[in-house]
Amino acid sequence: MSGTEAQGGGDGFAYGSTQEDVDAALADLEPVTLTYQPGGSSAESVTAANGLAFREYVEERSGGKITLETTWGQAIAPYGELVDALNDGRVDIAYHAAIYFPDEFPTVDAFSKITQYSTPAPLTGEAISAAMMSELAWNSDEHLQTIEDQGLVPLSPLMSSGDYWTACGKPGTTAEDWKGRQIRIAGTAHTELANAIGASPVSMEYGETYEALQRNTVDCTFVQPQVAGATGLLEVAPHVAHFSEQRMTGGATAMHVAGSGFQDLPLAYQQIIFDAEAEHMHGIIQATLDAGHKAVADSSAAGGEFSTMDEEVEEMLVAKQEELVDDLIADGRLPEDIRDTMTELADKWTAIVEELGYTDDGELAEFDEWYEPGSIDFRPLGERVFTEAAEAHRPGAASEDDQ
């Protein structure tokens, strides 16, 4: 963090204030430059939308007083070093793939195993799931404390890169096809799913997966739209299968966090950065859909296909997903009524998504034909999630309640 000796404090402003009121709150503040590491590989990446939307909001809302010096592709700190980098000041704000570190982020690991309770619809399903998982996270004191215990400040405490699919170099999704296949996994849930169908799980970060598939080191991978579209995985694993009735578990894997210097910023600066999460959520959903569009096109160009999972295999995987939930409840890592909670959240956000006018105009297999990248504004949904779930955690909220 550079450009200011601010120690926090100062006047804030209410969420939704006019730009004139924000400018007044910032009038006596010195400019600041913060180091930002978003999740995309570059500003031109199909998954850059959330990082770009966040940066644009922060810099515009602050009248240029906050500059986000943006470094793409985990160039400052890869995920394994990111928490340290956020704590020692090398990075101020970052996207973090917390799913890779279940010991440090046990609630992310637990929550990633309950993402199946909404529709697999290619557009509305992504919007509903992003919203419901965000509200779940903001309502969990244990989850927020886990993030804070790492020295971090949650900005978006749980984010999705989309539903999970399987992608393979060769076609076939019957029970016999899966036996003996080596399948790359991203999280602990997928270890159990792979074992349930007789496949062998192989753990690796997504950056290594393209070459592994290309060299036949692994036969298949569990993959989300953002990863599939951003890495070109479906060029070498074009045969994709997805669930027909619900989502595959494992879909909440990341978070957007600030580091140790955040609370030293003036209150108004903290509020601008926090408020940008409504824009950031718009970008998250857009990035997921845009990447899904590219993934479907990549699969088709490589002679592959998108199809629903073999019914017998899907039944086995769905049963295993529910066993995972039972195990988490038995271990005390999830409450006994978690299924009711997830169903209520799914119903709530399904209604809101419908109310806001979002629709699916076709099937996933033809997503590249009926969805136009960047064509849909998810800011109204991001603002709704913010006011329903995040606003109570906004910097200065406690002092506003006391007034």
pLDDT digits (tens, 9 = 90+) for 144-193: 999 999 999 999 999 988 999 999 999 999 999 999 999 999 778 899 99
Bridge partners (DSSP) listed for residue 9: none
Domain ranges for the chain, please list them: 19-402
The secondary element (H helix, E strand) that includes residue 194 is helix 188-196
Residue 367: φ, ψ to 5°? -60, -35
Find how far residue 279's CA is from the centre of its chain.
Answer: 14
CATH architecture of 19-402: 3-Layer(aba) Sandwich (3.40)
Q: pLDDT value at position 4? A: 33
Which amino acid is residue 293, in one-letter code? H
Mean pLDDT of the chain: 94
CA separation for the pair 221, 235 (Å, rounded):
13
pLDDT digits (tens, 9 = 90+) for 48-83: 999 999 999 999 999 999 999 999 999 999 999 999
Strands 239-242 and 305-308: parallel
What's the Cα-to-Cα distance from 90 to each of 5, 55, 69, rounded to whole Å? 17, 18, 12
CA separation for the pair 245, 315 (Å, rounded):
10
pLDDT-derived band at 1, boundaries 50, 70, 90: very low
Rg (CA), the chain: 21
Confirm whether pTM is higher than 0.75: yes
pLDDT digits (tens, 9 = 90+) for 238-289: 999 999 989 999 888 899 999 999 999 999 999 999 999 999 999 999 999 9
